[in-house]
Amino acid sequence: AQKVTQTQTSISVVEKTTVTMDCVYETRDSSYFLFWYKQTASGEIVFLIRQDSYKKENATVGHYSLNFQKPKSSIGLIITATQIEDSAVYFCAMSPTNYNQGKLIFGQGTKLSIKP
């Protein structure tokens, strides 16, 4: 069965530091996409970054980067130079096939709190 697991329920860090959020997934598909989204306090769900399973290099967008460890089925999100506005719930997600990318399997979410 396909599954995405985020074991960290909540994380709290001081502003301007680096934070890493963990995510592991299960799939039998040979090709898949991995995503990170954040849900803000207002409820808005924002796409952050994506990793294609066939790419070895880790994706980077702005101050978001990924630590993709395919043998471990792991896709960690790294946020550098955190800001107060990064406080949100972060969801890891997987699209198990490459034909319907909108069918996402989500993890349980990690609540990130950034303190001044």
Partner 1 sequence: GPKVLQIPSHQIIDMGQMVTLNCDPVSNHLYFYWYKQILGQQMEFLVNFYNGKVMEKSKLFKDQFSVERPDGSYFTLKIQPTALEDSAVYFCASSLVRVNTEVFFGKGTRLTVV
Cβ proximity of 4 and 53 under 8 Å: no
Min separation Cβ 5 and partner 1, Å: 10
Is the Cβ of residue 16 or residue 47 nearer to partner 1 in the bound state?
47
Residues facing residue 92 across a β-bridge: 36
Is the Cβ of residue 30 or residue 100 nearer to partner 1 in the bound state?
100
Q: Which of 42, 30, 50 lies closest to 104, judged by CA?
A: 50
Min separation Cβ 69 and partner 1, Å: 22
Is the Cβ of residue 18 or residue 113 nearer to partner 1 in the bound state?
113
Min separation Cβ 12 and partner 1, Å: 19
Which residues in this chain contact partner 1 in the complex, by CB under 8 A?
Answer: 4, 37, 42-45, 47, 91, 98-109
- 66 CB-contact burial (10 Å; exposed 0-12 / middle 13-18 / buried 19+): buried
